[in-house]
Each structure stands twice: as structure tokens, then as C-alpha cells.
Amino acid sequence: MAVLTIKNLAKTFNVGTPRASRVLDDISFDVRGGTFVSIVGPSGCGKSTLLNIISGVEEHTSGDISLTSDSGGPARMGYVFQDPRLLPWRSVMKNMMYVQNDRSEATAGRCRKYLEMVGLTKNADFFPGQLSGGMQQRVGIARAFAVEPDLLLMDEPFSHLDAITARGLRAQLQDIWAQSKKTVVFVTHDVVEAVELSDRIIVLQPGGRIYEDITIDLPRPRRQTDPTVATLQAEVLGRLEAMKTLSRTPSSAAA
Amino acid sequence: MSTTTAPVKARRSTTEKQQETPEWRKRLTSDSAARVAALLSFFLFWVLMSALFARVPGPVEVVQRLVDEFSRGEVFGNFGSTLYRFGVGVALATVVGIAVGVIMGLSQLGRAFFESPVLVGLSIPAIIWSFLTVMWFGFGDLSPIVTTFLTSVPFVIVNVAQGVRGVSRDLRDMSTTYKVPLSRRVKDLVLPAVTGYVAAGIRFAIIIGWNGVLLAEWFGGGGGVGYRARWWYDANRFGGFAAWVVLFVGFIVLLDRFVLDRVIQRAFRWRDASA
Ligand SMILES: Nc1ncnc2c1ncn2[C@@H]1O[C@H](COP(=O)(O)OP(=O)(O)O)[C@@H](O)[C@H]1O
Ligand SMILES: [Mg+2]
């Protein structure tokens, strides 16, 4: 069943002013429950805007967007941002609890479970400032999983980290995802990362349209050292080469 | 052929420097030494002035007068009523200041509404308020309380509003995506983010507010530190006047150093914890 359905979605910033700019033009796709979908595209093509519309921080200009939840109630969302976005004056554990619906012992237990999965049990009482960037991002990931979201959004969560830390976290994310089977929409500008993590890659092109919708049919767990992964990464990269020439034609943005 | 280079003295590490500096020198260049030096120079200046001018009471005379006032039983009653008025005025200014400041910080409309009154309030000196309140409320507790409140509340408002406006947009968006309820947002996000500004506001309230309470008591007749100071002033006995000023200013300084400073440091533990 589709958890997220988006139909003819468009977004224009500063509508009705001379600075009006159309960022998303005509986006339609849906995301089935339990799948890991990546949105890939060059910087500035509207990926974060799309996630913010899905999460409800940003309003869309036209089109339809609908979310369903297992419970039938309002859909619960988790969001991992590009930066950790933790309350600097609250401990790691209190940051985890801050976004939870209730403060029950069961909820606290769930928070501890996810902290353990990202290897931060010992740091539960630390302030964020006492952790490294990678550890802070792990708290952000644990926080998002711990709300048991119907839909988990991630916006380039590893792009601010060094390559070695990022690789470790990608592996960790795969493990947690394999255990929880959450529905994930993962934004990245990195095709290689997208192939490693996703069941499906939606490629956005500048001007805010979908360029390609690619299914990644590879066994898990996937490791970057695996040659079949590398081969597919190269192939997808090659297919996207064509987009560059396409996006250079000035008419494409208006079309 | 090999060239011999003259031995270069390696640059000293901080550990070496630390070890080589003699103890007496570290003591003399410490922060506390600077504070003691400031106190000492002020004290010497005071002694010098009182020796030169007959109308400047010296430290000995001031202490003498203070002891006299204690033995007359004037201190506790007057000091107590001033503290009470001052405390109520500052507490009101803090509560109202935080409330109005949060509104001004969060809402465009609130800001437009309160901006001008607050600006006017900032520019009205304590002496004007003390005249007005004595005229309005007479000689009771109310005039000094209202004067303290009115002189200090604009400073709290301005500080808090600035703090609230600075609450990170990213953290607010994060709270929105996770649908964090408003009460929790205020408690865990807005208030901690503005703690520094609230503290600065309360500090201002105290430092500005004590003018207010003393002036209102000076012009009113209901007792208190300001009233007693004026009594000595009118009697042409500057030692008694100075004794009361020293008592109250000393109290404010101690309050700031030992209570406010501690509270502020505690509120910012998270910042010190991050290396
Ligand atoms: N609040 C805003 N007002 C106006 N323009 C915006 C706003 N937010 C984003 N944009 C513009 O929308 C475009 C897409 O931004 P974004 O979604 O952040 O791209 P991406 O995440 O793909 O790098 C950019 O050109 C950006 O300048
Ligand atoms: Mg982005």
C-alpha cells in the first residue's frame, strides 16, 4: 500500500511578486510502505523543498499530497536533517524524548534501544556539544527512528561528514533499516550513495521535474566494496550524464 | 661540504612557559589580582578625597555612622521595606517583561504594537517616574514598587524579545516536523534559548531598578533606605547619607556577584560542557 502519494505537485516561491520562482513543476510519484526511496538531483533542484512540503514545514502551491498511516490516525514522521538539529542545552536522551508523543517508560525504553543501535548508549547523558559531528548525526538518526514513523525523511544526512564517518553511518543505517523496515524517502546529490541504499531512485532535474525513476534490484546488505554494487553505480551515473546536456538547454526549465 | 647552522633556540611550548613563570608572577597577573587592585585603588581614592575635602565623609566616618544606625535600630526596618519594594518591583518587571518580550519576539503584530511604548519607556528616567508615582500613589509602598517596575520593565522586554527572535529557525522547523506540542516547545526550546537574555534583562532590571526604589523613597515619606538617606542629607550629615548608599550599593554588588552570577553559570552548564 502506498504510504505517500504525490500528484502533479508544484511549488512556486514568492507567488505574485517579481521574485516568483518555480522550484517544483510537476511532480507525481508514490512510495509503497517499507521501501527505501532516494530522491537524487543536482544542488538547487528542489529536493529539500520537496521534503519540507512532505513534512509540512512548507506549503505547496498546487497539486495533491497524501499520507496514510498504519494506525489510521495522522501519519507520524521522522526527519533526519543535513545538520543534527539537536537542542544544545538538553542531554542526548532528553533530545530523544523531546520529539516523542508521550513520556512513558515504554517510550524511554524505545529511545534507549535506538541509541544502542547507533552505539551511543554510553553517551545518553552527554550534551550534544560534547559529541563529534558524526555522533550528533547518529543521535538525529536514532531520534527519527525512535518515533516509529510511518514515513522517515532524510535530507542529505551524511553530506557534512567526512568520507570515512559517512561510510560507517551508511552501513549502520542499512542495518537499522533492515531491522525496522520503515518507509524512507532519502534525499541526496550523491548517486553512488543512492544506489548503495535504495530500492528505487527518483531523479529530479533542474526546473523541478522527474527525469528518471530507476529501480535498484540488488541483494542486501550492500557494501561499497561489492563489485556488482560498483557496476550498477557506474551504470546509473552514466545514464544521468545525459541529464546535464538536457538541463543546459534553456527551454527545459520553462517547458 | 656541509654547512653548520647556528643552533636555533626552539620555540617554547605552552607547558614550558607555564613551568618557567614564577608563582608570584602568576598570582600578580591573575584576574582576582586585578579585581583586588581595582577595589584598593577606589578605596585609596576615597580616603584621599575625604582627607582633602571636609564635605566628603571618609570610610571611618561612614562605618561609624553605619554602626550608629544599627544601634539606633534604624537599619533592619528601613532596609527591609526597601528590599521588599525592590523585590516586588523587579519580580513584576521580570514576569511582565518575559511575557511581553516573548509576544514581541514571536509575533510581528505584537512587535508593531509594543515597539513604541517600550521605546518611550526606555527613555523615561527613574526620577520622572518617582515624581509621578509619589503624586499618584502618595507615601506608601506602592510608589517605590511601581517606580522600580516602570524603570526596569522596558529593559527586560527588549532583552527577551531579542532573544526570542534569535531562536534558531532550524530548531523551530525540527519541532514542527515532529509535531512537538507548544508547551514543550516553550519549555525546552524557547526558554532555554533565551535564558541568557532573560538573565541579562533581570540584571538590567536590578541595576536600573534600584535607582527607582531609592528615588521614590527619597521623594516619598514612607521610610526605607532612600528616605533615611535623605533624612541625613537634609540634616547636612553626609556621613549618614553615605552610609546608607554604601549599604545598598554593597548589597546590590554582592547580590549580582554571588547570586545572579551563580544562577547564570548553572543555566549555562551545557555551554561549558561543550569543549
Ligand atoms: N524560502 C525560499 N524562498 C525562496 N526561494 C527558495 C526558498 N527555499 C528554497 N528556495 C530556492 O529553491 C531552490 C531549490 O532549493 P532546495 O530545495 O533547497 O534545493 P536542493 O535541496 O535540491 O539543493 C533553490 O533555487 C533555492 O534558492
Ligand atoms: Mg537541500
How does pLDDT run across A182-220, given as a tens digit for each residue?
999 999 999 989 999 999 999 999 888 999 999 999 888
Q: What percent of chain A has pLDDT over 90?
A: 69
User: What is the band of A251 on the pLDDT scale with cuts at 50, 70, 90?
Assistant: very low
A55 touches chain B (CB under 8 A): yes
- Residue A167 and residue A155: Cα distance in Å, rounded? 16
Closest C-alpha to A76, from A85, A67, A84: A67
What is the pLDDT, as a whole number, of residue B242? 87
pLDDT of residue A67: 92
Mutation site for B-interface testing, chosen from A57, A86, A87 by largest number of B Cβ within 10 Å: A87
Q: Is residue B53 exposed (0-12), middle (13-18) or buried (19+ Cβ within 10 Å)?
A: exposed
Lowest pLDDT segment from A98-102, A148-152, B113-117, B243-247: B243-247
What residues contact B71, with CB distance under 8 A and at least 6 apart?
none
A249 falls in which pLDDT band (50, 70, 90)? Answer: very low
CB A15 less than 6 A from any atom of ligand 1: no
Ligand closest to CA A160: 2
Q: Which of A186-195, A238-247, B76-85 has the lowest mean pLDDT?
A: A238-247
The residue to mutate among A13, A17, A153, having the most atoms of ligand 1 within 8 angstroms of its beta carbon, is A13
The answer to whether A169 and A198 are in contact (CB under 8 A) is: no
Cβ separation A98–B271 shorter than 8 A:
no
Q: Which pLDDT score, from 0 to 100, does residue A23 have?
A: 95
| Residue B115 in this model has a pLDDT that exceeds 80 | yes
Residue range A131-142: mean pLDDT, rounded:
95
- Assess whether pLDDT exceeds 50 at residue A3: yes
What number is the average pLDDT over the span B216-224? 86
Residue to mutate (ligand 1; options A24, A25, A49; most atoms within 8 A of CB): A49
Q: Which atom of ligand 1 is nearest to the CA of A50?
A: 17
Give the confidence band of A55 by pLDDT, cuts at 50, 70, 90: very high
Among the ranges given (A92-96, A171-175, B67-71, B269-273), the one the predictor scored with the smallest mean pLDDT: B269-273
Give the mean pLDDT of chain A.
90
Residue A107 — very low, low, confident or very high, per pLDDT cuts 50/70/90?
very high
Q: Which of A78-82, A212-216, B44-48, B234-238 has the lowest mean pLDDT?
A: B234-238
Q: Is A84 exposed, middle or buried (0-12, 13-18, 19+ CB in 10 A)?
A: buried
Segment B221-249 mean pLDDT: 87
Portion 22-41 of A in contact with B at CB < 8 A: none
- Point out the least confidently predicted range of B210-224, B244-258, B259-273: B259-273
Contact B188 A87 (CB under 8 A): yes
| B170 and chain A in contact, CB less than 8 A | yes
Give the lowest-confidence range in A78-92, A208-222, A240-254, B240-254: A240-254
Identify which of B170, B192, B271 has the shortest CB distance to residue A85.
B170
CA distance A145 to A140: 9
Contact status, residue B219 vs residue B135, Cβ threshold 8 Å:
no
Residue A88 confidence class, pLDDT cut points 50, 70, 90: very high
pLDDT exceeds 70 at position A99:
yes
Query: Residue ranges per domain, chain A?
Result: 2-76+149-250
Position B220 scores a pLDDT of 84
pLDDT at residue B21, rounded to an integer: 82
Among A7-11, A250-254, B209-213, B264-268, top mean pLDDT goes to A7-11
Mean pLDDT of A117-125: 94
pLDDT at A121: 95
Q: What is the pLDDT of residue A252?
A: 41
B214 pLDDT more than 50: yes
The C-alpha cell of A179 is what? 531491522
Ligand 1 in reach of A48 Cβ (< 6 A):
yes
Say how far apart CA A69 and CA A2 lie, in whole Å: 10
Cβ pair A130:B192 closer than 8 A: no
User: Is A52's C-beta closer than 6 angstroms to any atom of ligand 1?
Assistant: no
* Calpha distance A167→A17 (Å, rounded): 43
Give residue A246's pLDDT.
Answer: 58
CATH of domain A2-76+149-250: 3.40.50.300
Who wins on pLDDT, A203 or B236?
A203
pLDDT at B274: 56
A239 interface with B at CB cutoff 8 Å? no
Does B137 have pLDDT greater than 50? yes
pLDDT digits (tens, 9 = 90+) for B147-157: 999 999 999 99
Which pLDDT does position B275 carry in this prediction? 47
- The distance of B272 to chain A (nearest Cα, Å) reads 9
Alpha helices in chain A (DSSP H): 47-55, 92-98, 105-117, 133-146, 163-180, 191-197, 227-248, 251-254
Cβ atoms of A194 and A237 closer than 8 Å: no
Q: Over 50: is that where the pLDDT of A250 sits? A: no
Question: What is the pLDDT at residue A105?
Answer: 95
Q: What pLDDT, on the 0 to 100 scale, is given for residue A255?
A: 36
Decide: A95 in ligand 1 pocket, CB within 6 A.
Answer: no
- Atom in ligand 1 nearest the alpha carbon of residue A42: 22
Using one digit for the tens of pLDDT, what is the confidence trace for B172-182? 999 999 999 98
Would you say the CB of residue A46 lies under 6 angstroms from ligand 1? Answer: yes
Give the pLDDT score at B101. Answer: 92
